[in-house]
Protein backbone atom coordinates (compact mmCIF):
# COMPACT_ATOMS: atom_id res chain seq x y z
CA UNK A 1 0.00 0.00 0.00
CA UNK A 2 1.39 3.36 -1.00
CA UNK A 3 1.17 6.67 0.80
CA UNK A 4 -1.56 9.14 -0.12
CA UNK A 5 -0.96 11.18 -3.21
CA UNK A 6 -3.21 14.05 -2.20
CA UNK A 7 -6.09 15.08 0.07
CA UNK A 8 -9.33 16.69 -1.04
CA UNK A 9 -11.46 18.87 1.22
CA UNK A 10 -15.12 19.40 0.39
CA UNK A 11 -17.93 21.15 2.27
CA UNK A 12 -21.45 19.87 1.73
CA UNK A 13 -23.16 23.08 2.84
CA UNK A 14 -21.62 26.25 1.42
CA UNK A 15 -24.09 28.72 2.91
CA UNK A 16 -21.96 29.09 6.03
CA UNK A 17 -18.33 30.03 6.25
CA UNK A 18 -16.03 27.24 7.37
CA UNK A 19 -12.65 25.95 6.29
CA UNK A 20 -10.67 22.76 6.62
CA UNK A 21 -7.01 23.68 6.43
CA UNK A 22 -3.52 22.26 6.98
CA UNK A 23 -4.39 18.74 5.84
CA UNK A 24 -1.61 16.24 6.46
CA UNK A 25 -1.38 12.46 6.25
CA UNK A 26 1.39 10.32 7.70
CA UNK A 27 1.68 6.48 7.62
CA UNK A 28 2.36 4.96 11.03
CA UNK A 29 2.79 1.22 10.68
CA UNK A 30 -0.47 -0.21 9.33
CA UNK A 31 -2.33 2.99 10.16
CA UNK A 32 -2.61 6.38 8.48
CA UNK A 33 -2.84 9.48 10.68
CA UNK A 34 -4.63 12.48 9.19
CA UNK A 35 -4.50 15.89 10.87
CA UNK A 36 -6.38 19.06 9.97
CA UNK A 37 -7.65 22.39 11.28
CA UNK A 38 -11.37 23.15 11.30
CA UNK A 39 -12.14 26.87 11.31
CA UNK A 40 -15.49 28.65 11.60
CA UNK A 41 -16.62 32.28 11.66
CA UNK A 42 -19.68 31.78 13.87
CA UNK A 43 -18.94 30.71 17.46
CA UNK A 44 -21.06 27.78 18.56
CA UNK A 45 -21.35 26.07 15.18
CA UNK A 46 -20.54 22.36 15.11
CA UNK A 47 -19.78 19.99 12.27
CA UNK A 48 -20.38 16.45 11.09
CA UNK A 49 -17.08 15.11 9.71
CA UNK A 50 -16.71 12.08 7.45
CA UNK A 51 -13.72 10.77 5.49
CA UNK A 52 -13.95 9.06 2.10
CA UNK A 53 -11.27 7.26 0.12
CA UNK A 54 -10.57 6.63 -3.56
CA UNK A 55 -10.28 2.85 -3.14
CA UNK A 56 -14.11 2.59 -3.40
CA UNK A 57 -14.54 5.68 -5.57
CA UNK A 58 -15.56 7.77 -2.51
CA UNK A 59 -18.88 5.90 -2.36
CA UNK A 60 -18.93 5.22 1.40
CA UNK A 61 -17.15 6.77 4.39
CA UNK A 62 -14.26 4.91 5.98
CA UNK A 63 -15.21 2.56 8.82
CA UNK A 64 -12.07 1.74 10.78
CA UNK A 65 -11.41 5.25 12.03
CA UNK A 66 -11.28 7.02 15.36
CA UNK A 67 -10.54 10.50 16.64
CA UNK A 68 -11.93 13.82 15.42
CA UNK A 69 -14.54 12.38 13.10
CA UNK A 70 -18.30 11.91 13.37
CA UNK A 71 -21.11 14.18 14.45
CA UNK A 72 -21.16 17.39 16.46
CA UNK A 73 -17.47 18.34 16.36
CA UNK A 74 -16.55 21.88 17.44
CA UNK A 75 -14.07 23.89 15.37
CA UNK A 76 -10.41 23.93 16.37
CA UNK A 77 -6.86 23.29 15.25
CA UNK A 78 -4.84 20.10 15.44
CA UNK A 79 -7.70 17.71 14.73
CA UNK A 80 -6.48 14.12 14.45
CA UNK A 81 -7.95 11.02 12.82
CA UNK A 82 -6.43 7.54 12.82
CA UNK A 83 -7.43 5.09 10.10
CA UNK A 84 -6.73 1.37 10.45
CA UNK A 85 -5.93 1.08 6.78
CA UNK A 86 -4.83 -2.55 6.69
CA UNK A 87 -7.88 -3.70 8.61
CA UNK A 88 -10.16 -2.06 6.08
CA UNK A 89 -8.20 -2.59 2.87
CA UNK A 90 -6.51 -5.95 3.44
CA UNK A 91 -3.80 -6.43 0.80
CA UNK A 92 -4.87 -3.50 -1.36
CA UNK A 93 -2.15 -2.17 -3.67
CA UNK A 94 -2.19 1.23 -5.27
CA UNK A 95 -2.33 4.94 -4.66
CA UNK A 96 -4.91 6.47 -2.36
CA UNK A 97 -6.58 9.84 -2.11
CA UNK A 98 -8.96 11.06 0.59
CA UNK A 99 -11.89 13.40 0.81
CA UNK A 100 -12.95 15.06 4.06
CA UNK A 101 -16.56 16.21 4.06
CA UNK A 102 -17.78 18.67 6.66
CA UNK A 103 -21.46 19.48 7.15
CA UNK A 104 -22.16 22.45 9.36
CA UNK A 105 -24.69 22.17 12.18
CA UNK A 106 -25.37 25.87 12.60
CA UNK A 107 -26.13 27.20 16.05
CA UNK A 108 -29.75 28.35 16.48
CA UNK A 109 -29.48 32.15 16.54
CA UNK A 110 -31.02 35.36 15.19
CA UNK A 111 -29.49 36.70 11.97
CA UNK A 112 -30.97 40.19 12.28
CA UNK A 113 -31.53 42.67 15.09
CA UNK A 114 -35.14 43.10 16.19
CA UNK A 115 -35.67 46.87 16.34
CA UNK A 116 -38.42 49.18 17.55
CA UNK A 117 -41.59 49.06 15.50
CA UNK A 118 -45.09 50.58 15.22
CA UNK A 119 -48.65 49.33 15.11
CA UNK A 120 -49.60 48.09 11.65
CA UNK A 121 -45.97 47.70 10.57
CA UNK A 122 -44.28 44.39 9.66
CA UNK A 123 -41.55 43.05 11.95
CA UNK A 124 -39.13 40.72 10.13
CA UNK A 125 -37.49 37.87 12.04
CA UNK A 126 -34.54 36.03 10.48
CA UNK A 127 -32.61 33.18 12.06
CA UNK A 128 -30.13 30.40 11.29
CA UNK A 129 -29.61 26.85 12.43
CA UNK A 130 -31.93 24.64 14.39
CA UNK A 131 -33.49 21.34 13.39
CA UNK A 132 -35.07 21.40 9.94
CA UNK A 133 -37.37 18.58 11.00
CA UNK A 134 -38.81 20.67 13.85
CA UNK A 135 -41.16 23.62 13.48
CA UNK A 136 -40.39 27.01 15.03
CA UNK A 137 -42.83 28.43 17.57
CA UNK A 138 -42.90 32.23 17.69
CA UNK A 139 -44.19 33.97 20.83
CA UNK A 140 -44.36 37.59 22.02
CA UNK A 141 -43.05 38.52 25.46
CA UNK A 142 -43.27 41.70 27.53
CA UNK A 143 -40.96 42.15 30.48
CA UNK A 144 -40.14 38.45 30.19
CA UNK A 145 -43.78 37.32 30.43
CA UNK A 146 -45.43 35.57 27.47
CA UNK A 147 -48.19 37.72 25.97
CA UNK A 148 -49.35 35.74 22.95
CA UNK A 149 -48.45 33.01 20.48
CA UNK A 150 -47.74 34.63 17.12
CA UNK A 151 -47.21 31.61 14.83
CA UNK A 152 -45.84 28.12 14.35
CA UNK A 153 -43.87 27.93 11.11
CA UNK A 154 -41.51 25.64 9.24
CA UNK A 155 -37.83 26.14 9.99
CA UNK A 156 -37.13 28.06 6.79
CA UNK A 157 -35.16 30.83 8.50
CA UNK A 158 -37.57 33.76 8.41
CA UNK A 159 -40.99 34.98 9.52
CA UNK A 160 -42.74 38.36 9.20
CA UNK A 161 -45.15 39.48 11.90
CA UNK A 162 -47.44 42.44 11.24
CA UNK A 163 -48.02 44.25 14.52
CA UNK A 164 -51.81 44.48 15.16
CA UNK A 165 -53.27 47.98 15.10
CA UNK A 166 -54.70 47.38 18.59
CA UNK A 167 -51.48 46.00 20.07
CA UNK A 168 -50.61 47.66 23.37
CA UNK A 169 -47.78 50.12 22.98
CA UNK A 170 -44.81 50.31 25.30
CA UNK A 171 -41.27 49.13 25.98
CA UNK A 172 -39.80 45.79 27.05
CA UNK A 173 -41.16 43.60 24.23
CA UNK A 174 -39.24 40.53 23.02
CA UNK A 175 -39.79 37.74 20.49
CA UNK A 176 -38.97 34.15 21.46
CA UNK A 177 -38.31 31.30 19.01
CA UNK A 178 -38.51 27.65 20.08
CA UNK A 179 -37.16 24.89 17.85
CA UNK A 180 -37.22 21.46 19.45
CA UNK A 181 -35.20 21.79 22.65
CA UNK A 182 -33.51 25.02 21.57
CA UNK A 183 -34.80 28.48 22.51
CA UNK A 184 -33.60 31.94 21.53
CA UNK A 185 -34.98 35.31 22.63
CA UNK A 186 -34.50 38.65 20.91
CA UNK A 187 -33.26 41.83 22.50
CA UNK A 188 -35.90 44.18 23.92
CA UNK A 189 -37.74 46.52 21.60
CA UNK A 190 -40.61 49.03 21.74
CA UNK A 191 -43.99 49.16 20.00
CA UNK A 192 -45.23 52.67 19.26
CA UNK A 193 -48.38 54.30 17.89
CA UNK A 194 -48.58 54.28 14.11
CA UNK A 195 -49.13 58.08 14.06
CA UNK A 196 -47.21 60.03 16.72
CA UNK A 197 -49.40 61.83 19.28
CA UNK A 198 -47.95 65.25 18.38
CA UNK A 199 -49.14 64.80 14.78
CA UNK A 200 -52.68 64.02 15.99
CA UNK A 201 -52.79 67.15 18.17
CA UNK A 202 -51.23 69.50 15.63
CA UNK A 203 -54.37 70.06 13.45
CA UNK A 204 -56.36 71.09 16.55
CA UNK A 205 -53.69 73.59 17.52
CA UNK A 206 -53.64 75.08 14.01
CA UNK A 207 -57.45 75.44 13.94
CA UNK A 208 -57.37 77.17 17.31
CA UNK A 209 -54.77 79.60 16.02
CA UNK A 210 -56.84 80.39 12.93
CA UNK A 211 -59.95 81.05 15.02
CA UNK A 212 -58.01 83.30 17.32
CA UNK A 213 -56.59 85.21 14.37
CA UNK A 214 -60.01 85.62 12.78
CA UNK A 215 -61.43 86.78 16.03
CA UNK A 216 -58.71 89.42 16.32
CA UNK A 217 -59.38 90.58 12.77
CA UNK A 218 -63.11 91.02 13.40
CA UNK A 219 -62.43 93.06 16.48
CA UNK A 220 -60.12 95.34 14.49
CA UNK A 221 -62.77 95.86 11.80
CA UNK A 222 -65.36 96.78 14.42
CA UNK A 223 -62.97 99.30 15.92
CA UNK A 224 -62.58 100.97 12.54
CA UNK A 225 -66.36 101.32 12.15
CA UNK A 226 -66.96 103.09 15.50
CA UNK A 227 -68.37 106.62 15.22
CA UNK A 228 -66.03 109.52 16.01
CA UNK A 229 -66.87 111.49 19.18
CA UNK A 230 -68.43 114.99 18.68
CA UNK A 231 -66.18 118.02 18.66
CA UNK A 232 -66.81 119.92 21.89
CA UNK A 233 -64.53 122.81 20.97
CA UNK A 234 -61.95 121.92 23.59
CA UNK A 235 -59.02 121.83 21.14
pLDDT tens-digit map of 1-37: 444 433 444 433 333 345 788 888 888 888 889 898 9
Is 108's pLDDT higher than 90? yes
* Contact between 76 and 38 (Cβ < 8 Å): yes
Q: What is the mean pLDDT of residues 103-122?
A: 92
Instruction: Tell me the pLDDT of the chain averaged across its residues.
Output: 81
Q: What is the pLDDT of residue 63?
A: 93
* Contact between 74 and 107 (Cβ < 8 Å): no
* pTM of the complete model: 0.65
| pLDDT tens digits along 194-227 | 876 565 555 555 555 555 545 555 555 555 555 5
What superfamily does domain 109-192 belong to in CATH?
Immunoglobulins (2.60.40.10)
Q: Residues of CATH 2.60.40.10 domain(s) within the chain?
A: 109-192
Assign a CATH topology to domain 6-105.
Answer: Immunoglobulin-like (2.60.40)
CA–CA dist 46, 105 (Å, integer): 5
Q: What is the mean pLDDT of residues 134-160?
A: 96
Amino acid sequence: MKLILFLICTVSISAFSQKIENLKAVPVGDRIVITYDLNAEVPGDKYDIQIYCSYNNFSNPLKYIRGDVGNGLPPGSGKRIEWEAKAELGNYQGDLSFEIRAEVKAIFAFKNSVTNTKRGKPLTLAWRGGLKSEEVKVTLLKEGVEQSSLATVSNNGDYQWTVPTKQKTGDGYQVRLVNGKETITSERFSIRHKVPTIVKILPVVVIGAVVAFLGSKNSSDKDKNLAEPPDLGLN
